[in-house]
Chain A
Amino acid sequence: MSAHATHGHDDDHGHSHPTPRTYLGVGVILFALTALEVLAYEVGHRPTWPLHALVEPMVVPILLILSAFKFVLVAGFYMHLKQDSKIFTNLFVWPIVLAVALALALVILFNYWVKETF
């Protein structure tokens, strides 16, 4: 393996990109997180499985947290936001903040406010 392969390579801005080993490590973590999501789903919806009573009320928060972890890993490592210019991060993160606010506002508006009003 070359020195570049060991230490990563530089982009236009002198930042070092990850190596294939890092990419593979992130891939393994992503796969494990997906397996945990499915496990949480199965345990939460099968009353005969162990830990069902404990996991059932927490299925939605567990899925959201695991999903957020996966999102950050892909954006940070595979999309190189961790190393690239902060301008790219801002171009991605602020629309996401706006998108989450939009989704929450719609869900709250339709599920609570509208039902109580009409």
Chain B
Amino acid sequence: MTVAQAATASAEHGEIDEHHWTSTGLDTRKLAIWGFIGSECLFFASLIATYLVYRGQSLVGPLPHTESQCMLDGKMQACEGIFEIPLVTFGTAVLLFSSLFVVLALYGAQKGDRKMLITWLSATVICGLFFIGMQVYEFYHFYHKGLGYSTNLFSSTFYTLTGFHGSHVTLGVIWLSTMLVLALRGKLPPEKALNLELAALYWHFVDVVWIVIFPVVYLMR
């Protein structure tokens, strides 16, 4: 549908046009979120590249996988690799499931199925909160094992990369929570499902970034 056709159709039916049409026939908000996601790809690529560039160049521990010498309680001592792969794998699975849940919520929103929308959107927010909790636990645990932000090259690049990802997850949870509140108040009818679709696109992007971070940071030695 062209811009003129869309405007004419709305005017003929005496409706307020909810869509923000462009000359391409696409919604401006959807174009904007895709443009934003494209720019975010470059942002995370620079962080991942920095992590890879400095990988294996730390002079003191703790290190991600291998035993090393670290400064603990004011003296150098042997310490083990600090990554807990089972915990992070579980967090990864939860984030993947949240992507499935949000797409089911969107399906419910588009169909006008309020129960489906609220159920799956709630599940998505819970999964997001679990992931944030997992990351907070991980950072706390690492800090108490002697891995501060400036301890070594690994810690600086690791905290920066995963911290920025975590902050994106947090923003995503806040955005999805506002959608959930709207849905609970009955203010997310099928004609406004695009509002949830934009939040879902951002959430999926956060998920695909983790799909790259998980093997590159946690599984590659």
Contact = CB atoms under 8 A, between A and B. Distances in A.
B103 A45 contact: no
Interface in B199-221: 200-201, 204-205, 207-208, 211-212, 214-216, 219-221
B204 A9 contact: no
Contact of B53 (A95, A99, A110): A110
A96 B41 CA distance: 6
B40 to A, nearest CB: 8
A107 B52 contact: yes
Interface string A13-57: 100010110011011001100100110110001000000000000
A68 B50 CA distance: 20
Interface of chain B, helix or strand or loop or mixed?
helix
A5 B111 CA distance: 9
Nearest to B197: A80
A6 interface: no
Interface residues of B, number: 52
Interface stretch (B31-39, B68-76, B155-163): B31-39
A102 B45 contact: yes
Interface stretch (B18-26, B133-141, B143-151, B180-188): B18-26
Nearest to A24: B100
A78 B204 contact: yes
A27 B120 CA distance: 14
A67 B104 contact: no
B41 A92 contact: yes
B48 interface: yes
Contacts of B9: none
B1 interface: yes
Contacts of B27: 12
Contacts of A99: 41-42, 44-45
Contacts of A95: 38-39, 41-42
Interface of A: 2, 4-5, 9, 12-13, 17, 19-20, 23-24, 26-27, 30-31, 34, 37-38, 40-41, 45, 59-60, 63-64, 66-67, 70-71, 74-75, 77-79, 85, 87-88, 91-92, 94-96, 98-100, 102-103, 106-107, 110-111
Given A20-B107, A27-B99, A78-B99, 9 more contacts: A23-B104, A30-B96, A31-B97, A34-B214, A38-B85, A41-B85, A74-B99, A74-B208, A92-B38
Complex A-B, nearest 9 residue pairs according to Cβ-Cβ distance, in ascending order: A99-B45, A95-B38, A27-B100, A103-B49, A63-B215, A91-B34, A106-B49, A110-B53, A95-B41
